[in-house]
Structure 1
Amino acid sequence: MRWIAVAFLALVVALAIWLWMYGGTDVVGRWAAETQRDAQNAMARSLRALRAGEWGALAGLWGMCLAYGFVHAAGPGHGKLVIGGYGFGVRVTAARLAGLAALSSIAQALFAIVLVSIALALLGWGREQLTALADRTMAPLSYAMIAGVGIWLVSRGLRKAVRLRRAATTHDHDHGDDGVCNTCGHAHAPTVEQAANVRSWRDVVAVVAVIAIRPCTGAVFLLILTYALGLYWVGIVGVIVMGLGTAGLTAIVAAAAVGARESTLAQAASARSTALLLIGAEILAGAVIALLSFQLLLPLI
C-alpha cells in the first residue's frame, strides 16, 4: 500500500505547485469571483421576489446561500490555509479537524451578523463603510494573525525538535516501543501517541479566531440588503447557511490535509522516524502558512 501513499502525496505536492507557482490560484480566484457575483445577483433577485410576497423564493435563496458559501471557500482564502496547514502539521484526526472547520465557519458567520448588526443599528453605517471595514481593516488583521499562527507552529516544532535531540543525547539508553527505557525503566519523553493526543483549547481558539475575524463579503452584502428590505431575519439565517456551505468545502480540505500527513507518516520506519516526520510537518506547515499570509498581507499594507 506504500505506493498509494506516495502517489497521493505526489498528487498533493503537484497541486500545491500548480496553485502557487504556475498561476493556479489566479485561475481558481477568477472562477470563484465570477461565480460569487452570479450568486449575489441571484440572491438579490430572490429577495426582490420575497419582497413582492413570493415566499416560495425563500428555499431557493437559502439554497443559493449554501452554494455561495461552498464556492466562496473554493476561492483563495484564509480559512482553507489555516485548516489545511494545521491538519498537515498537527496529528489531529480528520473528524476532529472537520469539526474545527465547521466551528470556525459558523463562528465567522456569527461574527459577521454581530458586526453588521452593530454597524447598521447603532452606528448607522452603510455598505461602503462596512465593506471598507472588512477589506481594509479586518482582512489585514486576519492575515497578520494567520502569519502569527504559522510562526507559532514553526516555533513549537523547533522546540519539539530541541527536546527530542536533547532526550537522544542525554539518555543514551535502549527504549522499547512504548517509550520506556529498557535500562532504567523510566520514560524519558512522551511517546508519539501521547504527544498526538495532547490538545489544548489554545489551539482551538487560535484557529477559530483567525478565521472568524474577517467577515465574508457575501455575508455583509446579504445582511445589508435584507436589512434595507425589512427581511433581516432572512439574511441572518442565510448567513448561517453560508457558513455551513463554507464548512463543507473546508472539511474536504481538512480530509485532504490529514490524508497527506498520514501518507507522509506511512513512510516512517520507526517511532523516532515518525516523531521526526511529525516535527518536520509542523515546521513546514507553519512556514507555508506564514509565507502565504505575508504574501496576502503585503498588498494591503
Structure 2
Amino acid sequence: MRIGLLIFALAAVMALVVWLWGMGGAADLSAWASEGQRKVQNAMAGLLRALKGGEPGAFWGLMGLCFAYGFFHAAGPGHGKLIIGGYGAARRVPVLRLSALAVLSSLGQAAAAVLLVYAGVFAFGLTRQAMTGLAEDWLAPASYIAIALVGAWLALRGARKLYSIWKHRGHAHHDHDHHTDGSCGCGHKHGPSADEAAHVHSLRDALLVIGSVAIRPCTGALFLLILTWRLEIDLVGIAGAFVMGFGTASVTVIVAVLSVLMRESAFGAVAESGTALRLSALLELGAGALIAVVALSLV
C-alpha cells in the first residue's frame, strides 16, 4: 500500500514538472501570480495615501494586502519553493525544522529588501528604478546561481553516499548478517544507520538554504519600502515588508510539509536499513540535480 502511494506521489511530481517546464504551465502560473501582484500593488498605493491622510483602519488594511502580496509572490514559479521542497526531499529533515527554514528564508528576503532600500537611499543615493534593476538584474541571478550550487552540493553528497555504500558492500561479502544499526555482527560498522543519518544536520545546511533564498529581495517589498520612505512613514513600510515575508512563508511552509510527507512515505515503504540508506542517497542525488538544473534554467 505504501509503495503504491509512493509511486503515485512520484508520478504526480513528475507530471507537475512536465506541465510546468514542458507544457508552458510555469508561464501560465507566473502570469496569474503577476496579475494578482499588480492588483495588490495598486490597492497598496491607495491604502498608503489613506494611511498618510489618517483614515482609520488603513494600517490593518495595508498589512492584510501585504500578506496577500506575499502569497501571490510565492504562488508563482519561484526559487523559495524550489530550494525548500528540494531540500526536504533530499535530506531527512523534521517537518518543524524545515517549516522554520521556510519561514526564516522568507523573512530573510524581507530583511534583504530593507537593507537594500536604506543602503541605496542613504549610502548610494539610488533611485527606485536603480534598486529594482539591481534586485532583478544582479541579485536574482546571483540567488539562482547560489541555489544551483546548493543543488550541486546535495547531488555530490548523494553520489558520495552511494559510492560509500557500494564500496562497503564490496568489503562486506563475507558470511555474516547485517543488522539495522549499520553493523554486520563482525564488531564494526560499515556505515551510519538510518536513524543516525536522519540526525546529521548542521547550522551550515540551514545557512546555505536561507542565504540562497534571502539574497534576492522581493520587488513588492522594495516598492512598498520606497513609497513609505517618500511618505515619511518608514516603520509602516518595514512592518509591511516582514508581513509580506509571512505571506510568502504561508506557501513555502505548505511545500515543506508536502516534501517531508513524500519523503517519509518513501522511507515507510522500506524498513530495511541498507535499503533506506540507498534510497536516502538516491533522493539526495536526484533532488540536488533537479534543483541545480531548474535554478540554472532560471538564470
Q: Provide the TM-score with structure 1 as the length reference.
A: 0.95
Correspondence list, 1:186-197, <5 A? 186-197=188-199
For residues 104 and 51 of structure 2, what CA distance do their matches in structure 1 show?
30
Correspondence list, 1:71-220, <5 A? 71-172=72-173, 173-182=176-185, 184-220=186-222
The more displaced of 125-134 and 261-270 is 261-270
SS at match of 1:88: helix
Task: Please point out which of 277, 289, 294 is paired with 1:287.
Answer: 289
The more displaced of 164-173 and 122-131 is 164-173
Structure 2 residue runs without a partner (length 5+): none
Amino acid of the structure 2 residue aligned with 1:64: L
2:21 is matched with 20
Q: CA deviation digits over 1:27-77, x for unaligned, max 9?
A: 110000000000111110100111111141110000010111111001111
SS at match of 1:122: helix
For residues 218 and 272 of structure 1, what CA distance do their matches in structure 2 show?
48
User: Identity of paired residues, percent?
Assistant: 49
The more displaced of 11-20 and 1-10 is 1-10
The Cα of 1:120 is off from its aligned counterpart by: 1.1
2:243 is matched with 241
For residues 128 and 13 of structure 1, what CA distance do their matches in structure 2 show?
39
Report how many residues are paired: 296
Amino acid of the structure 2 residue aligned with 1:9: L
The Cα of 1:149 is off from its aligned counterpart by: 0.6
Q: CA deviation digits over 1:129-177, x for unaligned, max 9?
A: 1011001110111111111111101111111111111111113342112
Amino acid of the structure 1 residue aligned with 2:236: V
Amino acid of the structure 2 residue aligned with 1:231: I
SS at match of 2:148: helix
CA contact (8 A) 1:9 1:264 kept: no
Correspondence list, 1:39-78, <5 A? 39-78=40-79
SS at match of 2:285: helix
SS at match of 1:4: helix
Amino acid of the structure 1 residue aligned with 2:241: V
The Cα of 1:253 is off from its aligned counterpart by: 0.6
RMSD in angstroms over aligned alpha carbons? Answer: 1.3
Structure 1 residue runs without a partner (length 5+): none
Q: Provide the TM-score with structure 2 as the length reference.
A: 0.95
CA contact (8 A) 2:158 2:285 kept: yes
Q: CA deviation digits over 1:114-137, x for unaligned, max 9?
A: 121111122221111101100111
CA contact (8 A) 1:6 1:263 kept: no
Deviation >6 Å, runs of 4+: none
Amino acid of the structure 1 residue aligned with 2:133: A
CA contact (8 A) 2:33 2:75 kept: yes
CA contact (8 A) 1:12 1:260 kept: no
CA contact (8 A) 1:8 1:263 kept: no
For residues 90 and 168 of structure 1, what CA distance do their matches in structure 2 show?
23
Q: CA deviation digits over 1:176-200, x for unaligned, max 9?
A: 1222222x22222110110110101
Amino acid of the structure 1 residue aligned with 2:181: D
